[in-house]
Chains A and B, each alone.
Chain A
Amino acid sequence: MAELTPETVMRVAREFFDYPMSPETAAAVAKVADAMLTDARRLSALGLEGVEPPFSYATMVAEAERLRRRDPSIT
Protein backbone atom coordinates (compact mmCIF):
# COMPACT_ATOMS: atom_id res chain seq x y z
CA MET A 1 0.00 0.00 0.00
CA ALA A 2 1.36 3.43 -0.97
CA GLU A 3 2.32 5.78 1.85
CA LEU A 4 0.23 8.85 2.55
CA THR A 5 2.05 11.86 1.10
CA PRO A 6 2.33 15.30 2.73
CA GLU A 7 0.68 16.74 -0.39
CA THR A 8 -2.41 14.58 0.16
CA VAL A 9 -2.55 15.59 3.81
CA MET A 10 -2.31 19.27 2.90
CA ARG A 11 -5.05 18.94 0.29
CA VAL A 12 -7.48 17.05 2.54
CA ALA A 13 -6.89 19.48 5.42
CA ARG A 14 -7.45 22.47 3.15
CA GLU A 15 -10.44 21.19 1.18
CA PHE A 16 -12.32 19.29 3.90
CA PHE A 17 -11.44 21.41 6.93
CA ASP A 18 -10.35 24.79 5.51
CA TYR A 19 -7.17 24.25 7.51
CA PRO A 20 -3.92 25.44 5.98
CA MET A 21 -0.81 23.35 6.70
CA SER A 22 2.82 24.07 5.96
CA PRO A 23 4.75 21.36 4.07
CA GLU A 24 6.75 20.66 7.26
CA THR A 25 3.60 20.21 9.33
CA ALA A 26 2.03 18.07 6.63
CA ALA A 27 5.10 15.82 6.61
CA ALA A 28 4.80 15.25 10.38
CA VAL A 29 1.05 14.69 10.16
CA ALA A 30 1.47 12.29 7.26
CA LYS A 31 3.68 10.09 9.44
CA VAL A 32 1.09 10.00 12.24
CA ALA A 33 -1.78 9.41 9.84
CA ASP A 34 0.09 6.75 7.89
CA ALA A 35 0.68 4.81 11.10
CA MET A 36 -3.04 5.04 11.86
CA LEU A 37 -3.98 3.78 8.41
CA THR A 38 -1.60 0.86 8.88
CA ASP A 39 -3.36 0.17 12.20
CA ALA A 40 -6.72 0.32 10.42
CA ARG A 41 -5.60 -2.23 7.84
CA ARG A 42 -4.56 -4.59 10.63
CA LEU A 43 -8.15 -4.73 11.90
CA SER A 44 -9.08 -6.91 8.94
CA ALA A 45 -7.22 -9.71 10.70
CA LEU A 46 -9.85 -9.74 13.44
CA GLY A 47 -12.62 -11.20 11.27
CA LEU A 48 -15.38 -8.70 11.97
CA GLU A 49 -17.96 -10.25 9.62
CA GLY A 50 -21.39 -10.05 11.25
CA VAL A 51 -20.28 -7.65 14.00
CA GLU A 52 -22.41 -4.49 13.99
CA PRO A 53 -21.12 -1.13 15.25
CA PRO A 54 -22.26 -0.91 18.88
CA PHE A 55 -23.90 2.54 18.64
CA SER A 56 -26.55 2.69 21.31
CA TYR A 57 -30.05 4.03 20.65
CA ALA A 58 -30.60 4.17 24.42
CA THR A 59 -27.65 6.54 24.80
CA MET A 60 -28.93 8.75 21.98
CA VAL A 61 -32.32 9.01 23.68
CA ALA A 62 -30.67 9.80 27.05
CA GLU A 63 -28.59 12.53 25.40
CA ALA A 64 -31.72 13.96 23.77
CA GLU A 65 -33.42 14.07 27.18
CA ARG A 66 -30.41 15.86 28.63
CA LEU A 67 -30.47 18.43 25.82
CA ARG A 68 -34.17 19.10 26.35
CA ARG A 69 -33.58 19.65 30.07
CA ARG A 70 -30.71 22.00 29.35
CA ASP A 71 -32.45 23.94 26.60
CA PRO A 72 -36.22 24.36 27.11
CA SER A 73 -36.49 25.98 23.67
CA ILE A 74 -36.13 22.51 22.10
CA THR A 75 -39.76 21.48 21.63
Chain B
Amino acid sequence: MDQSSILDLDVAALADKLRARELSPLEVTEAYLDRIAATEPRINAYITVTGERAREAARQAEAEIAAGRWRGPFHGVPVGLKDLCYTNGILTTGGSKVLANFVPDYDATVWARLREAGAVLLGKLNLHEFACGGTSNNAHFGPVRNPYDPARIPGGSSGGSAAAVAARSNLATIGTDTRGSIRQPAALCGCVGLKPTYGRVSRYGVVVLSYTLDHIGPITRTVRDAALMLNVIAGHDPNDASSSRVPVPDYTRFLGTDLKGVRIAVMRDLADWYEPDIERSFDESLKLLASLGAALEEVSIPSFKLGVQVSGLVARPEMLDYHQDWLLARPQDYSDNVRPLIEGAMVIPAVSYIRAQRARALMIAESCRVLEAHDVLVTPMCMTTAPLVGQDFVRSPAGAEVPYLPTFVAFTGPFDCTGQPAISVPSGLSSAGLPIAIQIAGRSFDEARVLRVAEAFERARGPLPPPKL
Protein backbone atom coordinates (compact mmCIF):
# COMPACT_ATOMS: atom_id res chain seq x y z
CA MET B 1 0.00 0.00 0.00
CA ASP B 2 1.47 3.40 -0.94
CA GLN B 3 1.95 6.15 1.60
CA SER B 4 -0.92 8.29 0.41
CA SER B 5 -3.35 5.34 0.65
CA ILE B 6 -2.18 4.67 4.22
CA LEU B 7 -2.89 8.30 5.14
CA ASP B 8 -6.37 7.99 3.61
CA LEU B 9 -7.44 5.33 6.13
CA ASP B 10 -9.48 6.35 9.16
CA VAL B 11 -8.93 4.67 12.54
CA ALA B 12 -11.61 2.04 11.95
CA ALA B 13 -10.20 1.03 8.54
CA LEU B 14 -6.58 1.18 9.68
CA ALA B 15 -7.32 -0.97 12.74
CA ASP B 16 -8.76 -3.70 10.50
CA LYS B 17 -5.63 -3.70 8.32
CA LEU B 18 -3.26 -3.69 11.29
CA ARG B 19 -5.09 -6.52 12.98
CA ALA B 20 -5.10 -8.56 9.75
CA ARG B 21 -1.36 -7.73 9.37
CA GLU B 22 -1.96 -6.27 5.92
CA LEU B 23 -0.10 -3.22 7.24
CA SER B 24 2.53 -2.94 9.94
CA PRO B 25 2.42 -0.27 12.66
CA LEU B 26 5.99 0.72 11.73
CA GLU B 27 5.01 1.26 8.08
CA VAL B 28 2.09 3.43 9.22
CA THR B 29 4.27 5.37 11.68
CA GLU B 30 6.88 6.06 8.99
CA ALA B 31 4.16 7.27 6.59
CA TYR B 32 2.92 9.74 9.20
CA LEU B 33 6.41 10.91 10.20
CA ASP B 34 7.13 11.61 6.51
CA ARG B 35 3.87 13.52 6.28
CA ILE B 36 4.77 15.56 9.37
CA ALA B 37 8.11 16.47 7.78
CA ALA B 38 6.33 17.51 4.58
CA THR B 39 3.53 19.60 6.16
CA GLU B 40 5.08 21.16 9.25
CA PRO B 41 6.89 23.98 7.46
CA ARG B 42 3.45 25.27 6.37
CA ILE B 43 1.18 24.22 9.24
CA ASN B 44 3.27 24.27 12.47
CA ALA B 45 0.88 21.90 14.25
CA TYR B 46 3.55 20.30 16.43
CA ILE B 47 5.66 21.60 19.31
CA THR B 48 7.46 18.26 19.77
CA VAL B 49 7.64 15.33 17.34
CA THR B 50 8.41 12.09 19.17
CA GLY B 51 9.73 10.17 16.16
CA GLU B 52 12.09 7.70 17.86
CA ARG B 53 9.66 6.90 20.66
CA ALA B 54 6.94 6.43 18.04
CA ARG B 55 9.07 3.96 16.09
CA GLU B 56 9.82 2.05 19.28
CA ALA B 57 6.12 1.89 20.23
CA ALA B 58 5.25 0.82 16.68
CA ARG B 59 7.80 -2.01 16.81
CA GLN B 60 6.34 -3.18 20.09
CA ALA B 61 2.80 -3.07 18.67
CA GLU B 62 3.96 -5.00 15.63
CA ALA B 63 5.45 -7.74 17.81
CA GLU B 64 2.35 -7.97 19.98
CA ILE B 65 -0.05 -8.15 17.05
CA ALA B 66 2.14 -10.77 15.38
CA ALA B 67 2.01 -12.78 18.62
CA GLY B 68 -1.79 -12.60 18.61
CA ARG B 69 -2.02 -10.06 21.43
CA TRP B 70 -4.17 -7.42 19.69
CA ARG B 71 -5.19 -4.80 22.24
CA GLY B 72 -8.03 -3.18 20.31
CA PRO B 73 -8.74 -0.60 17.59
CA PHE B 74 -5.96 1.78 18.69
CA HIS B 75 -3.21 -0.83 18.71
CA GLY B 76 -0.45 0.54 16.47
CA VAL B 77 -2.54 3.60 15.50
CA PRO B 78 -0.87 7.05 15.42
CA VAL B 79 -2.24 9.68 17.80
CA GLY B 80 -1.29 13.15 19.01
CA LEU B 81 -1.82 15.05 22.25
CA LYS B 82 -2.43 18.73 22.80
CA ASP B 83 0.66 19.94 24.62
CA LEU B 84 -1.31 20.50 27.81
CA CYS B 85 -1.36 16.74 28.49
CA TYR B 86 1.38 15.41 30.75
CA THR B 87 3.60 12.78 29.14
CA ASN B 88 6.14 10.95 31.29
CA GLY B 89 9.65 11.85 30.08
CA ILE B 90 8.41 14.03 27.20
CA LEU B 91 8.46 17.83 27.12
CA THR B 92 5.04 19.33 28.02
CA THR B 93 5.00 23.07 27.45
CA GLY B 94 1.35 24.11 27.63
CA GLY B 95 2.31 26.27 24.67
CA SER B 96 4.05 28.59 27.11
CA LYS B 97 7.49 29.92 27.95
CA VAL B 98 6.65 29.28 31.61
CA LEU B 99 6.81 25.50 31.01
CA ALA B 100 9.35 25.64 28.17
CA ASN B 101 11.58 23.03 29.88
CA PHE B 102 8.98 21.06 31.83
CA VAL B 103 9.23 17.27 31.55
CA PRO B 104 6.58 15.50 33.67
CA ASP B 105 7.32 12.29 35.54
CA TYR B 106 3.89 10.79 35.01
CA ASP B 107 1.26 10.52 32.29
CA ALA B 108 -2.09 12.27 32.07
CA THR B 109 -4.82 9.65 32.46
CA VAL B 110 -6.03 10.32 28.92
CA TRP B 111 -2.58 9.42 27.54
CA ALA B 112 -2.12 6.51 29.96
CA ARG B 113 -5.35 4.98 28.60
CA LEU B 114 -4.39 5.50 24.95
CA ARG B 115 -0.91 4.11 25.62
CA GLU B 116 -2.41 1.04 27.30
CA ALA B 117 -4.64 0.63 24.24
CA GLY B 118 -1.47 0.41 22.14
CA ALA B 119 -1.63 3.85 20.49
CA VAL B 120 1.57 5.30 19.00
CA LEU B 121 2.28 8.89 20.08
CA LEU B 122 3.61 10.96 17.15
CA GLY B 123 4.02 14.14 19.15
CA LYS B 124 2.76 17.01 21.24
CA LEU B 125 0.58 19.54 19.46
CA ASN B 126 0.76 23.31 19.33
CA LEU B 127 -2.00 25.40 20.88
CA HIS B 128 -2.98 28.83 22.07
CA GLU B 129 -0.67 29.63 25.00
CA PHE B 130 -2.04 27.82 28.09
CA ALA B 131 -5.29 27.32 26.12
CA CYS B 132 -6.16 30.98 26.84
CA GLY B 133 -7.61 31.90 23.44
CA GLY B 134 -9.25 30.79 20.24
CA THR B 135 -6.70 31.42 17.48
CA SER B 136 -3.61 29.25 18.29
CA ASN B 137 -1.54 32.25 17.29
CA ASN B 138 1.19 31.22 19.71
CA ALA B 139 3.76 33.92 20.50
CA HIS B 140 6.37 31.40 21.71
CA PHE B 141 6.06 28.53 19.23
CA GLY B 142 4.64 30.37 16.22
CA PRO B 143 1.10 30.39 14.85
CA VAL B 144 -0.63 27.17 13.84
CA ARG B 145 -2.07 27.51 10.32
CA ASN B 146 -5.24 26.14 8.77
CA PRO B 147 -4.57 23.36 6.22
CA TYR B 148 -7.48 24.61 4.08
CA ASP B 149 -5.78 28.01 3.80
CA PRO B 150 -2.48 28.53 5.63
CA ALA B 151 -3.07 32.28 5.72
CA ARG B 152 -5.93 31.58 8.13
CA ILE B 153 -6.18 30.36 11.73
CA PRO B 154 -7.08 26.76 12.55
CA GLY B 155 -9.06 27.95 15.57
CA GLY B 156 -8.10 27.19 19.12
CA SER B 157 -7.07 26.60 21.60
CA SER B 158 -6.60 23.02 20.29
CA GLY B 159 -5.45 24.40 16.91
CA GLY B 160 -2.55 21.98 16.45
CA SER B 161 -4.78 19.01 17.29
CA ALA B 162 -7.28 19.94 14.58
CA ALA B 163 -4.75 21.15 11.99
CA ALA B 164 -2.75 17.91 12.27
CA VAL B 165 -5.84 15.79 11.63
CA ALA B 166 -6.88 17.96 8.68
CA ALA B 167 -3.34 18.00 7.24
CA ARG B 168 -3.16 14.20 7.65
CA SER B 169 -0.04 14.59 9.75
CA ASN B 170 -1.91 12.75 12.51
CA LEU B 171 -4.89 10.43 12.55
CA ALA B 172 -6.62 11.10 15.86
CA THR B 173 -5.75 13.67 18.49
CA ILE B 174 -6.72 14.86 21.95
CA GLY B 175 -7.94 18.39 22.56
CA THR B 176 -9.34 20.24 25.54
CA ASP B 177 -12.46 22.39 25.61
CA THR B 178 -13.20 25.09 28.21
CA ARG B 179 -15.19 27.54 26.10
CA GLY B 180 -15.10 25.70 22.74
CA SER B 181 -11.47 24.71 22.23
CA ILE B 182 -12.18 21.24 20.78
CA ARG B 183 -15.26 22.04 18.71
CA GLN B 184 -14.28 25.37 17.14
CA PRO B 185 -10.88 24.26 15.75
CA ALA B 186 -12.48 21.03 14.56
CA ALA B 187 -15.10 23.14 12.77
CA LEU B 188 -12.60 25.50 11.16
CA CYS B 189 -10.40 22.61 9.99
CA GLY B 190 -13.14 20.29 8.69
CA CYS B 191 -12.68 17.65 11.43
CA VAL B 192 -14.97 16.05 13.98
CA GLY B 193 -14.53 17.37 17.54
CA LEU B 194 -16.30 15.86 20.54
CA LYS B 195 -16.56 17.54 23.92
CA PRO B 196 -17.84 14.77 26.20
CA THR B 197 -19.89 15.35 29.34
CA TYR B 198 -17.98 16.99 32.21
CA GLY B 199 -16.51 14.14 34.25
CA ARG B 200 -16.73 11.59 31.43
CA VAL B 201 -12.98 11.84 30.64
CA SER B 202 -10.45 12.37 33.42
CA ARG B 203 -8.73 15.77 33.64
CA TYR B 204 -5.86 14.30 35.69
CA GLY B 205 -2.46 15.36 34.40
CA VAL B 206 -3.80 18.03 32.06
CA VAL B 207 -2.68 21.64 32.62
CA VAL B 208 -5.70 23.48 34.03
CA LEU B 209 -7.44 26.40 32.39
CA SER B 210 -10.62 26.23 34.46
CA TYR B 211 -11.26 23.50 37.04
CA THR B 212 -15.02 23.45 36.57
CA LEU B 213 -15.18 24.04 32.81
CA ASP B 214 -12.31 21.97 31.37
CA HIS B 215 -13.28 18.97 29.23
CA ILE B 216 -10.97 16.52 27.43
CA GLY B 217 -12.00 14.87 24.14
CA PRO B 218 -11.13 13.59 20.67
CA ILE B 219 -10.55 15.39 17.39
CA THR B 220 -10.80 12.94 14.49
CA ARG B 221 -11.62 12.57 10.80
CA THR B 222 -14.91 10.78 11.35
CA VAL B 223 -17.61 10.41 13.97
CA ARG B 224 -16.89 6.67 14.21
CA ASP B 225 -13.25 7.44 15.05
CA ALA B 226 -14.40 9.84 17.78
CA ALA B 227 -16.60 7.08 19.22
CA LEU B 228 -13.68 4.63 19.11
CA MET B 229 -11.41 7.10 20.87
CA LEU B 230 -14.04 7.91 23.51
CA ASN B 231 -14.33 4.16 24.19
CA VAL B 232 -10.66 4.21 25.21
CA ILE B 233 -10.44 7.45 27.19
CA ALA B 234 -13.82 7.56 29.01
CA GLY B 235 -14.37 6.22 32.50
CA HIS B 236 -13.91 6.84 36.19
CA ASP B 237 -10.51 7.92 37.46
CA PRO B 238 -9.91 8.17 41.23
CA ASN B 239 -7.18 10.73 40.49
CA ASP B 240 -9.81 13.23 39.31
CA ALA B 241 -12.38 14.14 41.97
CA SER B 242 -14.81 15.37 39.32
CA SER B 243 -14.59 12.09 37.37
CA SER B 244 -17.92 10.28 36.97
CA ARG B 245 -18.80 6.68 37.84
CA VAL B 246 -21.58 6.53 35.22
CA PRO B 247 -20.97 3.31 33.21
CA VAL B 248 -19.29 3.66 29.81
CA PRO B 249 -21.10 1.94 26.92
CA ASP B 250 -19.52 0.89 23.61
CA TYR B 251 -20.18 4.12 21.74
CA THR B 252 -19.86 2.49 18.31
CA ARG B 253 -22.86 0.25 19.05
CA PHE B 254 -25.29 3.09 18.32
CA LEU B 255 -23.89 4.10 14.94
CA GLY B 256 -25.16 3.23 11.46
CA THR B 257 -28.86 3.87 11.96
CA ASP B 258 -31.27 6.36 10.39
CA LEU B 259 -32.95 9.16 12.32
CA LYS B 260 -36.59 8.04 12.16
CA GLY B 261 -38.36 9.19 15.29
CA VAL B 262 -35.46 11.33 16.52
CA ARG B 263 -36.64 14.69 17.88
CA ILE B 264 -34.25 17.52 17.20
CA ALA B 265 -34.41 20.95 18.86
CA VAL B 266 -32.95 23.64 16.60
CA MET B 267 -31.43 26.76 18.11
CA ARG B 268 -30.31 29.56 15.82
CA ASP B 269 -30.91 32.59 18.06
CA LEU B 270 -27.54 32.46 19.83
CA ALA B 271 -26.21 35.01 17.35
CA ASP B 272 -27.58 38.19 15.78
CA TRP B 273 -25.91 37.56 12.43
CA TYR B 274 -24.09 34.92 10.39
CA GLU B 275 -21.88 34.96 7.34
CA PRO B 276 -24.26 34.13 4.46
CA ASP B 277 -22.44 30.83 3.67
CA ILE B 278 -22.87 29.70 7.29
CA GLU B 279 -26.58 30.42 7.23
CA ARG B 280 -27.00 28.62 3.90
CA SER B 281 -25.05 25.58 5.12
CA PHE B 282 -27.07 25.44 8.35
CA ASP B 283 -30.38 25.52 6.44
CA GLU B 284 -29.16 22.74 4.14
CA SER B 285 -28.05 20.71 7.16
CA LEU B 286 -31.48 20.98 8.74
CA LYS B 287 -33.11 19.81 5.50
CA LEU B 288 -30.74 16.85 5.41
CA LEU B 289 -31.54 15.90 9.01
CA ALA B 290 -35.26 16.10 8.24
CA SER B 291 -34.78 13.94 5.14
CA LEU B 292 -33.22 11.26 7.38
CA GLY B 293 -36.45 11.04 9.34
CA ALA B 294 -35.82 13.45 12.23
CA ALA B 295 -38.56 15.77 13.50
CA LEU B 296 -37.22 19.32 13.88
CA GLU B 297 -38.54 22.09 16.10
CA GLU B 298 -37.13 25.59 16.69
CA VAL B 299 -36.46 26.33 20.37
CA SER B 300 -34.86 29.02 22.50
CA ILE B 301 -32.98 28.74 25.80
CA PRO B 302 -32.93 32.28 27.25
CA SER B 303 -30.01 31.83 29.68
CA PHE B 304 -27.78 30.47 26.88
CA LYS B 305 -27.64 33.97 25.44
CA LEU B 306 -25.32 34.88 28.32
CA GLY B 307 -23.10 31.82 27.78
CA VAL B 308 -20.16 33.97 26.66
CA GLN B 309 -20.37 36.07 29.81
CA VAL B 310 -21.01 33.22 32.25
CA SER B 311 -18.20 31.04 30.91
CA GLY B 312 -15.78 33.98 31.02
CA LEU B 313 -16.68 34.93 34.58
CA VAL B 314 -16.12 31.35 35.73
CA ALA B 315 -12.97 30.67 33.70
CA ARG B 316 -10.97 33.82 34.44
CA PRO B 317 -10.87 33.64 38.28
CA GLU B 318 -10.13 29.90 38.13
CA MET B 319 -7.36 30.68 35.63
CA LEU B 320 -5.88 33.26 38.02
CA ASP B 321 -5.99 30.79 40.89
CA TYR B 322 -4.04 28.22 38.85
CA HIS B 323 -1.52 30.69 37.41
CA GLN B 324 -1.05 33.06 40.34
CA ASP B 325 2.33 31.75 41.59
CA TRP B 326 3.83 31.64 38.10
CA LEU B 327 2.37 35.02 37.19
CA LEU B 328 3.75 36.73 40.27
CA ALA B 329 7.19 35.20 39.79
CA ARG B 330 7.58 35.35 36.00
CA PRO B 331 5.09 37.76 34.42
CA GLN B 332 7.47 38.40 31.52
CA ASP B 333 7.16 34.75 30.45
CA TYR B 334 3.49 35.21 29.49
CA SER B 335 2.77 36.73 26.09
CA ASP B 336 1.17 40.16 25.86
CA ASN B 337 -2.12 38.74 24.57
CA VAL B 338 -2.57 36.22 27.41
CA ARG B 339 -1.16 37.97 30.50
CA PRO B 340 -3.86 40.71 30.71
CA LEU B 341 -6.60 38.06 30.59
CA ILE B 342 -5.21 36.47 33.75
CA GLU B 343 -4.34 39.80 35.41
CA GLY B 344 -7.85 41.09 34.74
CA ALA B 345 -9.27 38.51 37.14
CA MET B 346 -7.43 40.20 40.04
CA VAL B 347 -10.06 42.92 40.19
CA ILE B 348 -13.16 40.77 39.68
CA PRO B 349 -15.21 40.53 42.88
CA ALA B 350 -15.75 37.02 44.25
CA VAL B 351 -19.50 37.61 44.09
CA SER B 352 -19.32 37.76 40.27
CA TYR B 353 -17.73 34.31 40.17
CA ILE B 354 -20.35 32.84 42.50
CA ARG B 355 -23.14 34.45 40.55
CA ALA B 356 -21.80 32.98 37.32
CA GLN B 357 -21.72 29.51 38.91
CA ARG B 358 -25.33 30.00 39.98
CA ALA B 359 -26.18 30.99 36.42
CA ARG B 360 -24.79 27.65 35.26
CA ALA B 361 -27.38 25.84 37.37
CA LEU B 362 -30.11 27.85 35.66
CA MET B 363 -28.62 27.09 32.23
CA ILE B 364 -28.63 23.36 33.02
CA ALA B 365 -32.23 23.54 34.21
CA GLU B 366 -33.41 25.33 31.06
CA SER B 367 -31.42 23.06 28.78
CA CYS B 368 -32.73 19.90 30.49
CA ARG B 369 -36.28 21.14 30.00
CA VAL B 370 -35.70 21.41 26.24
CA LEU B 371 -33.99 18.01 26.17
CA GLU B 372 -36.92 16.36 27.97
CA ALA B 373 -38.94 16.91 24.84
CA HIS B 374 -36.11 16.44 22.34
CA ASP B 375 -33.31 13.92 21.85
CA VAL B 376 -30.61 16.39 20.79
CA LEU B 377 -30.07 20.10 20.19
CA VAL B 378 -28.59 21.38 16.92
CA THR B 379 -26.95 24.79 16.42
CA PRO B 380 -24.51 26.37 13.98
CA MET B 381 -20.90 26.09 15.22
CA CYS B 382 -19.61 29.60 14.45
CA MET B 383 -20.80 32.91 13.02
CA THR B 384 -17.89 33.06 10.56
CA THR B 385 -15.41 30.85 8.75
CA ALA B 386 -11.73 30.96 9.76
CA PRO B 387 -10.32 34.51 9.94
CA LEU B 388 -6.79 35.41 8.83
CA VAL B 389 -3.87 34.80 11.18
CA GLY B 390 -3.45 37.93 13.30
CA GLN B 391 -7.02 39.11 12.72
CA ASP B 392 -8.60 39.59 16.17
CA PHE B 393 -11.78 41.21 14.87
CA VAL B 394 -14.30 40.05 12.26
CA ARG B 395 -16.81 42.02 10.25
CA SER B 396 -20.56 41.34 10.25
CA PRO B 397 -22.46 41.43 6.91
CA ALA B 398 -23.71 44.89 8.00
CA GLY B 399 -20.10 46.08 8.36
CA ALA B 400 -19.80 46.11 12.16
CA GLU B 401 -16.38 45.12 13.52
CA VAL B 402 -16.64 42.70 16.46
CA PRO B 403 -14.07 40.76 18.53
CA TYR B 404 -13.59 37.26 17.15
CA LEU B 405 -13.78 35.17 20.35
CA PRO B 406 -17.48 35.67 21.17
CA THR B 407 -18.47 34.74 17.61
CA PHE B 408 -17.92 31.08 18.41
CA VAL B 409 -18.11 30.99 22.22
CA ALA B 410 -21.75 32.09 21.79
CA PHE B 411 -22.42 28.51 20.54
CA THR B 412 -19.82 26.49 22.40
CA GLY B 413 -19.66 28.25 25.79
CA PRO B 414 -23.20 27.32 26.89
CA PHE B 415 -22.42 23.59 26.67
CA ASP B 416 -19.20 24.02 28.66
CA CYS B 417 -21.32 25.76 31.29
CA THR B 418 -23.91 22.95 31.32
CA GLY B 419 -21.29 20.20 30.96
CA GLN B 420 -23.48 18.45 28.38
CA PRO B 421 -21.86 16.56 25.49
CA ALA B 422 -21.55 18.41 22.18
CA ILE B 423 -19.94 17.54 18.88
CA SER B 424 -18.84 19.57 15.88
CA VAL B 425 -19.44 17.86 12.53
CA PRO B 426 -18.50 19.28 9.12
CA SER B 427 -21.49 20.48 7.11
CA GLY B 428 -19.76 21.80 3.98
CA LEU B 429 -17.34 24.30 2.50
CA SER B 430 -17.87 28.02 2.02
CA SER B 431 -17.63 29.65 -1.40
CA ALA B 432 -13.98 30.39 -0.48
CA GLY B 433 -13.37 26.69 0.22
CA LEU B 434 -13.29 26.98 4.02
CA PRO B 435 -14.91 24.37 6.30
CA ILE B 436 -18.27 25.00 7.98
CA ALA B 437 -19.84 22.82 10.70
CA ILE B 438 -22.90 22.24 12.80
CA GLN B 439 -23.01 21.44 16.51
CA ILE B 440 -25.07 18.59 17.99
CA ALA B 441 -25.52 18.52 21.77
CA GLY B 442 -27.33 16.14 24.07
CA ARG B 443 -28.25 15.17 27.60
CA SER B 444 -25.49 14.63 30.15
CA PHE B 445 -23.75 11.26 29.61
CA ASP B 446 -25.81 10.65 26.46
CA GLU B 447 -22.82 10.84 24.09
CA ALA B 448 -24.24 7.74 22.41
CA ARG B 449 -27.24 9.62 21.01
CA VAL B 450 -25.15 12.64 20.04
CA LEU B 451 -22.76 10.37 18.14
CA ARG B 452 -25.63 8.49 16.52
CA VAL B 453 -27.18 11.66 15.09
CA ALA B 454 -23.76 13.04 14.08
CA GLU B 455 -22.80 9.83 12.27
CA ALA B 456 -26.09 9.64 10.38
CA PHE B 457 -25.64 13.26 9.30
CA GLU B 458 -22.00 12.69 8.31
CA ARG B 459 -22.87 9.57 6.31
CA ALA B 460 -25.65 11.34 4.43
CA ARG B 461 -23.57 14.46 3.75
CA GLY B 462 -20.42 12.63 2.72
CA PRO B 463 -16.82 13.58 3.51
CA LEU B 464 -15.42 17.06 2.89
CA PRO B 465 -12.79 17.26 0.15
CA PRO B 466 -9.41 17.21 1.93
CA PRO B 467 -7.29 20.38 1.92
CA LYS B 468 -4.96 20.87 -1.06
CA LEU B 469 -1.65 21.05 0.75
A interface residue numbers (CB < 8 A to B): 4, 8-9, 12-13, 16-19, 21, 25, 28-29, 31-33, 36-37, 39-40, 42-43, 45-46, 48, 51-55, 59-60, 62-63, 65-66, 69
Which residue of B238, B344, B355, B360 has the most chain A CB atoms within 10 A of its CB atom?
B344
Flag whether B30 is at the interface (Cβ < 8 A). Answer: no
Q: Flag if B355 contacts A19 (CB, 8 Å).
A: no
A37: chain B residues at CB < 8 Å are 347-348, 352
Cα–Cα distance between A21 and B349 once the two chains are bound (Å): 19
B357 to chain A, nearest CB (A): 5
Q: Is the interface of A mostly helix, strand, loop or mixed?
A: helix
- Across-interface contacts of B308 in A (CB, < 8 A): 39
The distance from the CB of A51 to the nearest CB of chain B, in whole angstroms, is: 5
User: Which B residues, 358 to 412, have Cβ-Cβ distances below 8 Å to chain A?
Assistant: 358-362
Inter-chain CA distance A51–B303, complex, in Å, is 13
Are A25 and B241 in contact, with the CB atoms below 8 A?
Answer: no
Which of A12, A40, A51, A66 is within 8 Å of B241, CB to CB? Answer: A66
B249 CB within 8 Å of chain A = no
Min CB distance A23 to B, Å, is: 14
Which of B312, B313, B324 sits near A17, CB closer than 8 Å? B324
Enumerate the 10 nearest inter-chain pairs by beta-carbon distance, A residue then B residue, closest first. Answer: A32-B344, A63-B241, A39-B309, A40-B352, A62-B241, A33-B344, A51-B358, A29-B343, A33-B347, A54-B361
Q: How far is the CB of B30 from chain A (nearest CB, A)?
A: 40
Q: Is the CB of B309 within 8 A of A17?
A: no
- Chain B positions within 8 Å of A69 at CB level: 238
Given A43-B309, A53-B354, A66-B238, the answer on whether A29 and B344 have CB atoms closer than 8 Å is yes
Number of B positions contacting A (CB below 8 A): 37
> Can you list 27 residue pairs at the A/B interface with Cβ under 8 Å?
A13-B346, A13-B347, A16-B346, A17-B324, A17-B328, A18-B328, A19-B346, A25-B343, A33-B345, A33-B347, A36-B312, A36-B316, A36-B344, A37-B352, A39-B309, A40-B356, A42-B309, A43-B306, A43-B352, A43-B356, A48-B355, A52-B358, A59-B241, A60-B241, A62-B241, A65-B238, A66-B241
B binding-site residues for A, Cβ under 8 Å? 238-243, 303, 306, 308-310, 312-313, 316, 324, 327-328, 331, 340-341, 343-349, 352, 354-362
- Determine whether the beta carbon of A28 is less than 8 Å from that of B340: yes
Q: Shortest beta-carbon distance, B1 to chain A, in Å?
A: 46
Extra contacts besides A25-B340, A39-B313 (18): CB < 8 Å: A9-B347, A13-B343, A17-B324, A19-B343, A19-B346, A29-B340, A32-B344, A37-B347, A37-B352, A40-B355, A46-B303, A48-B362, A51-B358, A53-B354, A54-B357, A54-B361, A59-B241, A66-B240
Q: Are A43 and B324 in contact (CB under 8 A)?
A: no
Q: How far is the CB of A45 from chain B (nearest CB, A)?
A: 7
* Nearest CB on B from A43, distance (A): 5
Enumerate chain A residues within 8 angstroms of B359, measured Cβ to Cβ.
43, 46, 48, 51
Contact residue among A18, A43, A66 (Cβ-Cβ distance under 8 Å from B310): A43
Given A13-B343, A43-B355, A59:B309 Cβ within 8 A: no
Contact B358 A54 (CB under 8 A): yes
CA distance A33 to B317 in the complex (A): 11
Q: Are B346 and A36 in contact (CB under 8 A)?
A: no
Residues of B within 8 A of A65 (CB): 238, 241
Are the CB atoms of B328 and A19 closer together than 8 Å?
yes
Q: How far is the CA of A45 from the CA of B309 in the complex (A)?
A: 12
Q: Smallest distance from the beta carbon of B406 to chain A beta carbons, Å? A: 10
Once bound together, how far apart are the Cα atoms of A28 and B239, in whole Å? 38
Q: Which residues of A contact B240 (CB under 8 A)?
A: 66
CA distance A30 to B357 in the complex (A): 23
Q: Which of A12, A28, A40, A62 contacts B313 (CB 8 A)?
A: A40
Instruction: Report Cα–Cα, A40/B243, bound state, in Å.
Output: 29
Q: Are A43 and B313 in contact (CB under 8 A)?
A: yes
